[in-house]
Amino acid sequence: MAKATVCLTYDFDAVSTWLWSYDSWDEPTRHSRGVFGAEVGAPRLLDLHDKYDVPATWFIPGHTIDSFPEISGEVWDRGYDIQHHGWSHTGPATFESEEDERADVERALDCIVDLTGRKPTGYRSPAWDFSAHTLDILEDIGIEWDSSKMASDFHPHWAYGGWSAPEDDAYDRGEPTDIVELPVSWQRDDWPAFTFTWARPHRMGYVSEDSIFQRWYDQFDWMYENVDGGTFILTMHPQVIGQAHRLMRLEALIQHMQTKPDVEFKLMDEVASDFRENN
């Protein structure tokens, strides 16, 4: 086992995130931020990963695949993995019914199969949260691992289902399922710190790049020194990290990680398979 594993992941939301997440469809300047991700950010990231021969897992909503098929296909053709991120980038808990959620998940599945010729094995919730039906839906379509939860920082674990959070009694986490969880964190995500919007939600942005990247260096370095066999999972968005002043810092971070002995960059799918084999 490598001393440390790194998974660089991209949520290629493109325009989808400016539609359903903000309940707004006719704001072309917002749309253009997603277009930047598809036309400028994504190609730059592919070139960066090619340059350093570093694998990457791309979570691509079906809406992005349908809207930007060429660059979505290029992600796959250049050897990077594509996994499930919903069709419309709608938070699972905000669908009006289980049927609506299931239809969105199945539509996204079809998009990925059409693009890649194979079914996705992994899922990342667009809201990093689940409805009461999400796990069942994922199991029904053959998803083997998820990357939406935060119960651990550097270790994969089994995803739990059947939780209970009553107002007048103790919390019950539920029981482990057969789905592997590859944990995420808002601390290892580029969106909240860097993405300014006038509207709720996420009216933030303008955090110093140096402070956020320092956080990522610190987390990786601490894991490297203190956690045996830890996995560092970083979530980024082409329209955010693909800006020049961030891309240069991401390149330096990759170089930093590559200078450490016994660090392995892997696809999320490989990490999930390794965990399943050993547990």
Site string for Zn ion, 8-47 (x = CB under 5 A): ---x-x----------------------------------
Eight-state DSSP code of residue 164: B
Is 272 in contact with 9 (CB distance < 8 Å)?
no
Minimum distance, C-beta of residue 225 to Zn ion, in the bound complex (Å): 31
Residue with the shortest CB distance to Zn ion:
11
Closest CB to Zn ion among 13 and 153?
13
Applying CB under 5 A, the site for Zn ion has a residue count of 3
Report, in Å, the least distance between residue 89 CB and Zn ion.
6
Q: Mark residues 85-124: x for contact with Zn ion by CB under 5 A, - for none.
A: ----------------------------------------
Comparison of 13 and 181: residue with beta carbon closer to Zn ion: 13
DSSP secondary structure string, 211-235? Answer: HHHHHHHHHHHHHHHH-TTEEEEEE
Site for Zn ion in 118-147 (CB under 5 A): 126
CB of 18 to Zn ion, least distance (A): 11
What's the closest the beta carbon of residue 129 comes to Zn ion, in angstroms? 12
Q: Which is nearer to Zn ion, 61 or 161 (CB)?
A: 61
Distance in Å, CB of 207 to Zn ion, minimum: 19
Instruction: Give the whole-angstrom CA distance, residue 263 versus residue 279.
Output: 22
Closest CB to Zn ion among residues 60, 223: 60
**Going residue by residue from 227 to 246, which x/- string records binding to Zn ion, judged by CB under 5 A?**
--------------------
Q: Which of 34, 126 has the CB closer to Zn ion?
A: 126
Provide the CB-side half-sphere exposure for 18 (13 A, CA). 22
Q: Collapse the DSSP code of 151 into the 3-class scheme (helix H, G, I; strand E, B; otherwise coil) and give the result.
A: coil
Sole window of 6-14, 114-122, 135-143, 203-211 interacting with Zn ion (rule: CB under 5 A): 6-14
Please tell me the chain's helix, strand, coil percentages from 3-state DSSP, rounded to the nearest 5: 45, 15, 40
In the complex, what is the shortest distance from the CB of residue 93 to Zn ion, in angstroms, rounded to a whole number? 15
Q: Which is nearer to Zn ion, 37 or 126 (CB)?
A: 126
CB 183 within 8 A of CB 153: yes
Distance CA 63, CA 123 (A): 15
∠ Cα 190 144 114 (to 5°): 80
Cα distance between residue 60 and residue 112, in whole Å = 8
Q: Which two tokens stand for residue 229?
A: 């066999």
Say how far apart CA 138 and CA 165 lie, in whole Å: 22
Residue 239 CA to its chain's centroid (Å): 14
Bridge partners of 175, per DSSP, are: 161
Count of CB atoms situated within 10 Å of the CB of 28? 8
Give least dist CB 219 to Zn ion, A. Answer: 21
Residues binding Zn ion (CB under 5 A) = 11, 13, 126
